[in-house]
Structure 1
Amino acid sequence: MNETMLRLLTEFNAQRRAYAVATVVETVGSVSAKTSAKAVIDDEGRVVFGWVGGGCAESAACSAALQCIESGEPTVLEIDLDDEVLGAGMPCGGHMRVFVDPVNPKPRLWLLGHGRVAEVLCAFGDTIGLEVIVNDPGATAQQYPAAQRIITDDLDYEQLDPIADDYVVIATQHKGDHESMQRVLASQARYIALIASRKRARLVLQYLRDLGVGEAALARVMAPAGLDLGARTPEEIALSVIAQIVMTRRGGSGKLKKTEPEAPSAKRKAAETA
């Protein structure tokens, strides 16, 4: 990979920017790009590095890149170049196949606090493809081997900066819960949850009301966190929370998928009573 391209992709990844890499995988006839030619296309549909052809080839690649970034799925373009013109002013008349591979930043799971529930949530989050960040003064890599980042020096939560696709679970279980909650509510985090008993959840929410936090903001908080699975153990509680995160991420309902038996038809009823 070209060093300039590598630096650009490293920069995009650090900025958590989505992009796509278009690669010419096959050419037939006269075409303006060679096999293995690459282009980096940003999340606005612009070629920011490289070249896979001009005119219709670039336009098709940029359009496909935006669609792939949106869906998260790669695609292979079949591009006829009848309208592409070579330097001599003659139509290319060729054909090319271009593989477009999107790269979307992983959504983050921010875990605030410690304990067995947080440890299991870290493992679950990594398993379902989230980038896990643990924010707790006493956290260690041994406790959270699946965490991509561990923050231990953020008592005022200044490093807590979730964006729109991120998930935040507060498991601090102490009177500072409201401080982290206020910080999170000021963000666009997709999911905000508080691991607490019903009594403690009510106390925290009421305290936030007393501080002037509005009802619309408080309605974003899942408190207590998780789906009602009848969970008792830390592992079961973590499962209920990660299930709720999956439901939120994928647009599920949380309802049972059990298929109900069909009601007997009138003809069948008549046969049974004959």
Structure 2
Amino acid sequence: MTAHVEVLDLVAQMKAAERAFVLATVVRTVSVTAAKAGAKAIIAADGTIVAGWIGGGCARGAVLKAAREALADGEPRMVSVQPENLLAELGVRAGDSRDGVRFASNMCPSKGTMDIFVEPVLPHPSLVILGASPVALSLAAQARTLGYHVTLAARSADLTAQPDADTIIDGYQLGELNEAKRFVVVSTQGKGDEAALRAAVATKADYHAFVGSRRKMASLRARLIAEGANAGAIDSVKAPAGLDLGAITPEEIAMSILAEITRERRRGQRAANQAATRE
């Protein structure tokens, strides 16, 4: 098996395992370079090259920097590693960007040019829903159409219909969840509120929300704190869940929650894109 095929096999395995990584591909070389067009490498989320080859130290630093940025904002980018004299002819310096290309200096004696396409491959965002209410079921169905990996946790006795979810858990013991940008929503609506909320705040996520009134949330907060729960963790839960769109039906409430999650999900990416535009 060739190294190229091995890299593609590992790409498939890492995608199936919902692991974040970057696929770097050499798309063009000029003069003498260690790697040639078509060479590929997989860069893990921790910055290590786990498979493949894209050349030595002449390109490695620039590619790894671009990989970190790509994982942060989810956007692919092109890196062009060139000797200083060619950069000067183009009127750019190392670190400059032009027309979507980030330039880097090749300080190696070979003085070759190498263009590398850096493509982030991110796991599906994870939506964890606790509860079997109509809002919970509608939220699961709508989220799946938007590409979320949906985990629905509820007592089997509370389920009146088969949830449209990737993973279904009987009860509120979530166990091990896939590593991705995670959002957690409690939509029990009177059936297991305390147990679900306790499990939710114990789960690391970028967003926690509770489908219910502020008064109900305040009552649950008091009970959980009396049982020893962390007040700060509970206070981080958005209640009521969702943007104020005047939603009434379960489907509309679910849509308002997804709108709020989308805003949170894209917040960091928008900031990264705006920073890149200013460079």
Decide: shared fold, TM above 0.5.
yes
Name the larger-Rg structure: 1
Unaligned residue ranges in structure 2 (runs of 5+): 85-105, 269-279
Deviations 1:74-99 (A, max 9, x none): 111111257566xxxxx433222111
Identity among equivalent pairs (%)? 40
- With over 3 angstroms needed to count, the CA separation of the structure-2 counterparts of 1:160 and 1:169, relative to structure 1, is farther
The 2-side partners of 1:74 and 1:162 are apart by 23
2:21 corresponds in structure 1 to 19
Q: 1:162, 1:187 within 8 Å by CA — same for their partners in 2?
A: no
Partner SS state of residue 7, structure 2: helix
Partner SS state of residue 208, structure 2: strand
Partner SS state of residue 182, structure 1: helix
Deviations 1:219-267 (A, max 9, x none): 1112222222222111121122112222333349xxxxxxxxxxxxxxx
Query: Equivalent of 2:239, from 223, 227, 231?
Result: 223
Please tell me the root mean square deviation across aligned C-alpha atoms, in Å. 2.9
Unaligned residue ranges in structure 1 (runs of 5+): 86-90, 253-274
Higher share of residues assigned helix: 2
- With over 3 angstroms needed to count, the CA separation of the structure-2 counterparts of 1:67 and 1:151, relative to structure 1, is same
Query: Equivalent of 1:61, from 60, 63, 66?
Result: 63
The 2-side partners of 1:50 and 1:61 are apart by 13
TM-score scaled to structure 1, two decimals? 0.76
* 1:55 partner amino acid: G
Offset at 1:15? Answer: 5.7
1:76 corresponds in structure 2 to 78
* Aligned pairs for 1:153-172 within 5 A: 154-159=170-175, 161=177, 165-172=181-188
Structure with larger RCO (C-alpha < 8 A, sep 6+): 2
1:124 corresponds in structure 2 to 142
Aligned residue pairs total 243
Partner SS state of residue 30, structure 1: coil
Deviations 1:61-85 (A, max 9, x none): 1121111111211111111257566
The answer on 1:174 being equivalent to 2:174 is no
TM-score scaled to structure 2, two decimals? 0.75
* 1:124 partner amino acid: Q
Deviations 1:24-54 (A, max 9, x none): 1112222221211001112232222111111
